[in-house]
Amino acid sequence: MIISLRRMTYDDLKKNLKKEDKVVVWACNNCIKFRDGLGGRESMNKLADKLEQDGYDIVRRELIGASCLLDLVRKRRTDEAAAKAFEESTVILPLTCEDGYDNVKHVFSDKKVLNLTKTIGLGVFSTKKGMCVNYPFEGTGLEPSVDGITLTEAAKKMGLHSGPY
């Protein structure tokens, strides 16, 4: 399973938004959903609710099966139920891996799309440790580990953040 971590804190995220922005919170419901609660419906709703409580205008909550599938992302832009919200939006917050971010950024090139995650490698769920990265990508500074590196450990070593917003 692909493993991603948060690039920024919630306060850092808010620094990248303006109160007049019209925000879409976009969440992938695949790999990232199963790792530390970063993606999926629950995390999408928590982030959107938190932003609304802080005075931001959430115009859509978009849950997609796999943001890494470019054709699926393209279809969302023209979907009859979503098109109006996407048209009026100014910012998209993708809770996806970096491939998903790249696809959203490509399809919605006229929008501000924040890069919220860093994809760090491949991993599995351990009953002892929870989600772990076993095969980190080159350049992460992490060593491969059969036992796995917890996401908290990996985040600390890389200056990133684990868990949902």
Q: What is the mean pLDDT of residues 116-129?
A: 91
Please count the structural domains in the chain: 2
Q: Which two tokens stand for residue 156?
A: 């600390």
| pLDDT tier for residue 1 given thresholds of 50, 70 and 90 | confident
Question: Strand order in 117-126's β-sheet?
Answer: 2-6, 117-126, 130-136, 149-150
Residue 136 confidence (pLDDT) above 80: yes
Note whether 128 and 104 are same-domain residues.
no
Note whether 11 and 81 are same-domain residues.
yes
Note whether 69 and 24 are same-domain residues.
yes
Residue 36 confidence (pLDDT) above 70: no
Coil/strand/helix, residue 133: strand
Note whether 125 and 82 are same-domain residues.
no
Q: 1 lies in a domain?
A: no
Q: What is the mean pLDDT of residues 112-120?
A: 96
At 163 the pLDDT is 87
Note whether 93 and 28 are same-domain residues.
yes
Q: What is the mean pLDDT of residues 81-107?
A: 95
| CA angle (15 as vertex; 116, 101 as ends), nearest 5 | 20
| pLDDT tier for residue 126 given thresholds of 50, 70 and 90 | confident
Q: From residue 154, how far is each of 5, 128, 136 by CA, in Å?
A: 9, 16, 9
| CA angle (53 as vertex; 92, 22 as ends), nearest 5 | 30
Note whether 145 and 72 are same-domain residues.
no
Q: Which domain holds residue 55?
A: 7-118
Note whether 142 and 113 are same-domain residues.
no
